[in-house]
Structure 1
Amino acid sequence: MTKVDVAVIGGGLVGCSAALHLRRRGASVVLLERRRCGGQASGVNYGGVRQQGRDLVELPLARRSRRIWAELDALVGTDCEFEATGHLKLARSESEMAELEIYASRAREFGLQLETIGPERIRTRFPWLGDGVVGGSFCAEDGHANPRLVAPAFARAAVATGADIREEIEVLHACHDGEVFELCLSDGTSVRAGRLINAAGAWGSTVSAWFGEPVPEEVMAPNMCVTGPIPYFLVPNLGVCGGGVYVRQIRRGNVIFGAGVGVADRDEIVARPLADVTAGAVRLAVDLVPKLASAQIIRTWTGIEGVMPDGLPVVGLSETTPGLIHAFGFSGHGFQLGPGVGAVLSELAIDVATTVPIDPFRIGRFSNDGTSRHRAGSAASSPGRQSGMQSGRQSGTTRLSPVT
């Protein structure tokens, strides 16, 4: 039997970041991953490192995470191809442009500077845009990275600092005896830990249900594509107001884009893209950037992502079990948040406190019928109030105690 201060279920970016930050604070850690670190949502996503366009309650967490992205090379030994190329969110109507201007005004209260670009300047600055674009909002701090590199880089850095990371090991069940957690593993061994972090991604609700906290987590499979290399011209990472299609180009010339969803089977751990959805994504991407019409798709793919009804993740302390901490259900936009969420989880595990306002993400926000008491986007009406939110449950000063 292994005894550690903190056990982490899930080897995605969130779990691997948590393991690294815990070791940097001196806690003993074991991380358990059913397959390979970064093998699901963390490694098969689009790769956007985006603050712009998030629900405003996520911006403090996104800002914290962005500072870590800037220090990635020093933290994990590689920049994981992260580039602050900017994120350009496009409007295709006057009403969408008005939405972007309102959002830019509210985002400034969180320290996020966005530049709105009207119809006169948008085509001068980005002449390759399609005729349907009437304006946009540009965030210079945002960009993209290679998702296949990031979680494994955090895992390697965690191992180098003394974390015990075990791949191809499934947690069959976990329980709490009032003092410590015991995890039963697929190899017949067990782990005892003083704290438990549930970073199990699309399977996070299975773990939370073990502790009497069922939540309505569903799954989705974002349908994504990559082309062969073409001359590099598309510098910013592109999105559209209201979602629907996203496009970026890497310096090697390949264009990554996506729209719609494929098929995901959570029980069988299988996901696949769909040809008709891919065809629709092609049409949307070419409408947005006509120069892409001559590009050749060389691969399509997808993965399994956990989705919450209100589009916000579950992040924070359990409301049933002392020492249990949740972080799952990132609803297709957790890649940028991952490094920062890991840092916050380490603070919750060691200090039972964090300076980042995470109350909107508490697991208890769901009512008995599965609906959320938070309406996605509702923070837009009062960003100042939301930026100061702090759960009383996360303001304590209890320190991590070792397992005996």
Structure 2
Amino acid sequence: MPGPAPTPFKSDLALPKSTDVVVIGGGIIGVSTALELSERGLSVLLCEKGQIAGEQSSRNWGWVRISRRDPREIPLMAEALRIWDGLDARIDGNTGYRRSGILFTADTERKAAWLESWAEHLGPFDLEARMVRGGEMDALMPGHQMKVQSALYTPVDGRAEPQWAAPAIAEGARAQGATIMTNCAVRSLDFQGGKLAGVVTERGRVACSAVVVAGGAWSRLFCGNAGLQLPQLKVLNTVMRSAPVQGPEAAVWANGFAMRKRVDGGYTVAAGTENIVDLVPDSFRLGLRFLPAFQAEWRSLRFRLSGRWREEAAQARSWSPDQVTDFETCRVLDPAPSQKVLRSGWAAARRAFPVLNGVDVVQSWAGMIDVTPDAIPVISEVEHVPGLFLSTGYSGHGFGLGPAAGCLTADLVMGTKPIVDPHAFRLSRFTDGTKVRPFAGI
């Protein structure tokens, strides 16, 4: 069964010879960056090797949440919530966004205490997050049969439709003057006199003064060809959607499953914390760097040896601009979902909400999440390559962060005051002696 189909997007036809900025990647980060830069008066070319939102930007859960985030991401996500509120009007489009609240359930006193302490991080941002119990909790999750004593409820959180959002933002960027090219892979950076001077695409060279790499799971491969070591691996997450059914409006994360209401009346359901890590050559190249993350998340990770090893081992790690690249031979990364994860997540959701019993699962899919050793993104200029910027490694958090991440990336490109302090997201944290660790949750 193929992955979800994003809103069809018609490519521009003519590749410009020059532009101010080239954005590589047509996911929500890339299109949000293109929108911001175009609105500020720069000429922008966005190149996507496949289709807009063809990969993880259309395959994620659709959650727009600040709850339970790494504290380093909270300032950026607070800005994202503000931007999401006015985004549809701004782009004259429909992302499906709405505030509906999210609940993280607690089945032990220890977990409830941790969630309550996490909520204190929102104090400086005047955003509500509170523990709910008893009748209030039951009203937010009508019909549930879970044995939980409380839940963290964040009413400011919400949802949007992943198949709609990035294409709608891309149309908004084009309305502001951006050129959006699909099925147009960028093969390499172009240097003249030792300085970044443009890119080489499969359709020809484009001169520019700045490049933003927002290539998601492909960013490490692209950067490696330019001599830049980006520590990034991929994690496979499996998702399904149900037929329409009456149920809670608020999204729910509980033991064994996570689910949120869709605009079509069904639910997007996943197994919550269960992810698959395919062992590939990069797993061993980067193993020591990722060891703290593996240790922190070992309960939720399932390591396996699969066909991905052979596929990635066969990928060229360097190439010349006149060579056909893996970006062209694999336009859309469309991995098979895990049937085991599908069964366990759906069974857990049906136990928690009996109304789901007898409801059909109408589609299932998987996506590759691009992760960093500390599970927060790289939003940064590359210090030794002036004009080159990275906005990648969002570690499964990129959809909600997208609009604000695009704003911060644009701030860095233009050298203006950043929307939030970008220090935590700098690329150099992996080489400057900083202790790189993921946020210790529960």
| TM-score scaled by length of structure 2 | 0.79
Divergent runs of 4+, >6 A: none
Once the two structures are superposed, what CA deviation does each residue of 1:9-46 show, in whole Å capped at 9, x if it has no partner? 00111111111111111001111100011111111111
* CA distance in structure 1 between the partners assigned to 2:114 and 2:257 by the alignment: 18
Are positions 1:235 and 2:299 aligned together?
no
**Are the counterparts in 2 of residues 315 and 328 from structure 1 also a CA contact under 8 Å?**
yes
Match of 1:112 among 115, 127, 137: 127
One-letter amino acid matched to 2:257: V
* CA distance in structure 2 between the partners assigned to 1:374 and 1:343 by the alignment: 25
Matches within 5 A, 1:60-139: 60-119=75-134, 121-123=136-138, 125-139=140-154
Q: Which residue of 2 aligns with 1:248?
A: 260
Q: Which residue of 2 aligns with 1:397?
A: none
Matches within 5 A, 1:218-229: 218-229=233-244
* CA distance in structure 1 between the partners assigned to 2:263 and 2:195 by the alignment: 52
One-letter amino acid matched to 1:186: E
Q: Which runs of 5+ in 2 are unaligned?
A: 1-15, 279-307, 313-329
* CA distance in structure 1 between the partners assigned to 2:40 and 2:146 by the alignment: 52
**Are the counterparts in 2 of residues 261 and 273 from structure 1 also a CA contact under 8 Å?**
no
* CA distance in structure 2 between the partners assigned to 1:64 and 1:374 by the alignment: 25
Q: Which residue of 2 aligns with 1:182?
A: 198
SS in 1 for 2:209: strand
Are positions 1:159 and 2:171 aligned together?
no
**Are the counterparts in 2 of residues 213 and 320 from structure 1 also a CA contact under 8 Å?**
no
Are positions 1:344 and 2:408 aligned together?
yes
**Are the counterparts in 2 of residues 181 and 194 from structure 1 also a CA contact under 8 Å?**
yes
Q: Which residue of 2 aligns with 1:277?
A: 341
Q: Which residue of 1 aligns with 2:439?
A: 377
Alpha-carbon offset, residue 118 of structure 1: 3.0
* CA distance in structure 2 between the partners assigned to 1:180 and 1:319 by the alignment: 12
* CA distance in structure 1 between the partners assigned to 2:175 and 2:334 by the alignment: 32
Alpha-carbon offset, residue 194 of structure 1: 0.5
* CA distance in structure 1 between the partners assigned to 2:103 and 2:94 by the alignment: 22
* CA distance in structure 2 between the partners assigned to 1:377 and 1:108 by the alignment: 19
Change (3 A) 1:251 1:100: same
| TM-score scaled by length of structure 1 | 0.86
Alpha-carbon offset, residue 123 of structure 1: 2.9
Change (3 A) 1:210 1:319: farther
Change (3 A) 1:125 1:305: closer
* CA distance in structure 1 between the partners assigned to 2:227 and 2:277 by the alignment: 29
**Are the counterparts in 2 of residues 222 and 303 from structure 1 also a CA contact under 8 Å?**
yes
**Are the counterparts in 1 of residues 260 and 268 from structure 2 also a CA contact under 8 Å?**
yes
Q: Which residue of 1 aligns with 2:67?
A: 52
**Are the counterparts in 2 of residues 132 and 287 from structure 1 also a CA contact under 8 Å?**
no
